Amino acid sequence: MGQTFAEKLLARNAGRTSVEPGQVIDATPDLVLSHDNTAAIIRTWRQLGLPRVKHPERLAVVLDHAAPAPTTQHAQNHAEIRQFVAEQGIVHFFDVGRGICHQVLCEEGLIRPGMLVLGADSHSTHYGALGAFGAGIGRSEVAALWATGTLWLRVPESIKIVVSGTPSKWVSAKDVGLYIIGQLGAEAGNYASVELHGETIAQLSMESRFVLPNLMAEMGVKNAWLAPDQVTLEWLRAQTQDTSPELAERFFAGAIYPDPDAHYAAEYVFDVTSLEPQVACPHAVDNVVPISRVAGTRVHQAFLGTCTNARLEDLAVAAQILHGRRVHPGTRLLVIPASARVLRAAVQMGYLDTLLAAGAVIGPPGCGPCMGNHLGVPAPGEVTISTANRNFRGRMGTREADIYLASPAVVAASAVTGRIIHPAELE
Amino acid sequence: MRFSGKAWKYGDNVNTDVIFPGKYTYTLTELRDMAAHALEDLDPTFATGVRPGDIIVAGRNWGCGSSREQAVLCLKAAGVGAIIAVSFARIFYRNAINNGLPAIVCPAAVAAIEHGQPVEVDLAVAEIRCPAGVFSFPPFPPSVQRILAEGGLIPYLKRVLAAERL
């Protein structure tokens, strides 16, 4: 019988010819991610009494969650981390301002098809956009990986989602992702490997593709996978400025594709031809409605940022909408690019000039206020519309604030009117 | 291992942001400080009312959202002996086992237990005892039992590494 992506990848990783769902294997990740939580992981790892981490070349550390440091205590954490990565010879270290971990590791060419990537961050599912197996784990598990290089993983059941149809002008990958989560629910992918298939997915730009496996974390998935193809390869080429034929050879040699006769625990088909822009309402990511149901809701803050939607094309659509317009009085528009590379490109393209002229506030590349640390947390009673992936109660720092999740186009348009609005109404 | 205490009953899809708010994740490092904020945005009475051995009884997908391990640590430090749920989000489940907090899947017990009732969990025989009766759950596999018996992944690994050095 055929095998799914997850079955093939975990079998190869564990040096077996095949594995079955439910089986527990000792996996050896190719890359292990941690971010600001590295300070806590260092303290845990020190309890093990080892002088050196086992594979420093397989570790990546990015300072992004509270960066630049908002308090002395955050700064102290960062200082401990800098000292540790120097001591241990961890070369894949990206300091404050380089950007959000998931974006940075992809831009740096550290993620390739067929890799196993484990990260102390729930949105490590992100790496599936490049055909890798990305899964979130806990801090103690990262400490254990620093010590031993291996970790037990249960081979997941696989779920196949097929998306077809050409969406309308203002419907983006974010709307497709929110729609799927709204239809299937927050637990639909728990413990499972989700494969996203179909013409709609294949036609997405690489930047749009990153949105989907990232968002699938909100369905509980272990990992989410998209088929690596020429679009993926060209994006990697551009990011790494590697024009050699070997890049393509290594790319396709590493890539893993499911067999046509693989067995899936569930299969779902979605046609997005007539989909409206989607909005996730407070206080759950699966509380999703078409925008017409919440249009007119007053917003105090519009936030364009996070690992889900703060890439160049997201800033481009915001600039297109805000060109020649002003952010509504009484509403703040906060724009935090996903990385320094995105920020620089946005400057070169003139997007930042447009956004600033419209009255936007620009923040330094990083996670910003997504999890309530700094740089734009709402006041009690305020409403934020955000391009992030989570709207749980208290997420942005106060339990008395409402968070709506939407696409960059909807967030930008809502900033103009101070109310949730379909971008088509501004045309 | 055996735990007994009062049941704190909650619903479906309780996420890690309400169990342990993200704004504390890089500033609270002491266990007693984490315990003081446990379930802060879900049930403000929990942190002051919980007693050692108390049991959380929850619906589907307990612990969904962020991978933050403090969501487990704050409950354990507050004295929670075990969590019984219809289902767990996968990273929370791993974090619970890895910190020696039994995460027990038993939908029948969840349906039977009411908030505030006395509950006893006996891991040795994989049973839950409550006013409505006795419920069995599938025992943990031996590898998980070893981690739980050592109090978590790090103490377990310490022992394994020490044995390798001998």
Q: Are residues A226 and A93 in the same domain?
A: yes
Q: Do A395 and B22 touch (CB under 8 A)?
A: yes
Q: Which CATH number do you get for residue A102?
A: 3.30.499.10
Query: Of A252, A270, A288, which one is at a domain's C-terminal end?
Result: A270
Contact A326, A292 (CB under 8 A): no
Q: Are residues A88 and A237 in the same domain?
A: yes
Q: Flag whether pLDDT at B140 surpasses 90.
A: no
Query: Of A270, A290, A316, which one is at a domain's C-terminal end?
Result: A270
Domain boundaries, position A90: 5-270
- By C-alpha distance, the chain A residue nearest B100 is A140
- Reported as a single tens digit per residue, the pLDDT across B29-48 is 999 999 999 999 999 999 99
Q: Flag whether pLDDT at A32 surpasses 90.
A: yes
Q: Flag whether pLDDT at B1 surpasses 90.
A: no
For residues A409 and A318, give the distance between their C-alpha atoms in angstroms, rounded to a whole number.
Answer: 6
Q: Are residues A257 and A306 in the same domain?
A: no
Q: Do A152 and B143 touch (CB under 8 A)?
A: yes
- By C-alpha distance, the chain B residue nearest A185 is B13
**Considering only CB atoms, which chain B residues are within 8 Å of A218?**
65
Please give, one letter per residue, the 3-state secondary structure of A194-246. EEEECHHHHCCCHHHHCHHHHHHHHHCCCEEEECCCHHHHHHHHHHHCCCCHH
Q: Do A190 and B26 touch (CB under 8 A)?
A: no
Using CB atoms, pick whichever of B12, B42, B98 lies closest to residue A140: B98
**The pLDDT of residue B121:** 97
How many percent of chain B have pLDDT more than 70?
A: 100
**The pLDDT of residue A169:** 96
- Tell me which of B16, B42, B91 to substitute to probe the interface with A (most A C-beta atoms closer than 10 Å): B91
Q: Is residue A399 part of a domain?
A: yes
Q: Flag whether pLDDT at B52 surpasses 90.
A: yes
Task: Compute chain B's Rg from CA coordinates.
Answer: 15
| B99 has a chain A CB within 8 A of its CB | yes
pTM over 0.90: yes
Q: Do B17 and A50 touch (CB under 8 A)?
A: no
Q: Do A373 and B158 touch (CB under 8 A)?
A: no
Q: What ipTM does the predicted assembly reach?
A: 0.94
Q: Are residues A217 and A292 in the same domain?
A: no
| B40 has a chain A CB within 8 A of its CB | yes
Q: Do A186 and B13 touch (CB under 8 A)?
A: yes
Q: Are residues A68 and A30 in the same domain?
A: yes
Q: Which amino acid, residue A424? A: A
Q: Are residues A26 and A58 in the same domain?
A: yes
Query: Of A217, A239, A270, which one is at a domain's C-terminal end?
Result: A270
Contact A225, A213 (CB under 8 A): yes
How many percent of chain A have pLDDT more than 70?
A: 100
Confidence of residue B150 (pLDDT cuts 50, 70, 90): very high
Confidence of residue B142 (pLDDT cuts 50, 70, 90): confident
Domains of chain B, CATH where assigned: 2-139 (3.20.19.10)
Q: Provide the 10 A C-beta neighbour count for residue A162.
A: 16
- Tell me which of B73, B86, B90 to substitute to probe the interface with A (most A C-beta atoms closer than 10 Å): B90
Q: Flag whether pLDDT at B166 surpasses 80.
A: no
Q: Do B25 and A394 touch (CB under 8 A)?
A: no
Q: Do A73 and B26 touch (CB under 8 A)?
A: yes
Q: Are residues A286 and A350 in the same domain?
A: yes
Q: Are residues A144 and A40 in the same domain?
A: yes
**Considering only CB atoms, which chain A residues are within 8 Å of B12?**
187
Which contacts of A78-84 are long-range, i.e. CB under 8 A and separated by 24 or more positions? Answer: A78/A36, A78/A39, A80/A39, A80/A42, A81/A36, A81/A38, A81/A39, A81/A42, A84/A38, A84/A42
Torsion on CA atoms A143, A146, A150, A155, rounded to nearest 10: 50
- By C-alpha distance, the chain A residue nearest B13 is A186
| B69 has a chain A CB within 8 A of its CB | yes
Q: Are residues A310 and A264 in the same domain?
A: no
Q: Is residue A315 part of a domain?
A: yes
Q: Indicate the number of domains in chain A.
A: 2
Q: Is residue A275 part of a domain?
A: no
Q: Which amino acid, residue A90? A: I
Q: Residue window 102-121, chain B: list those with CB within 8 Å of chain A.
A: none
Distance of CA A134 to the CA centre of its chain: 11
Q: Provide the 10 A C-beta neighbour count for residue A28.
A: 17
- Reported as a single tens digit per residue, the pLDDT across A248-263 is 999 999 999 999 999 9
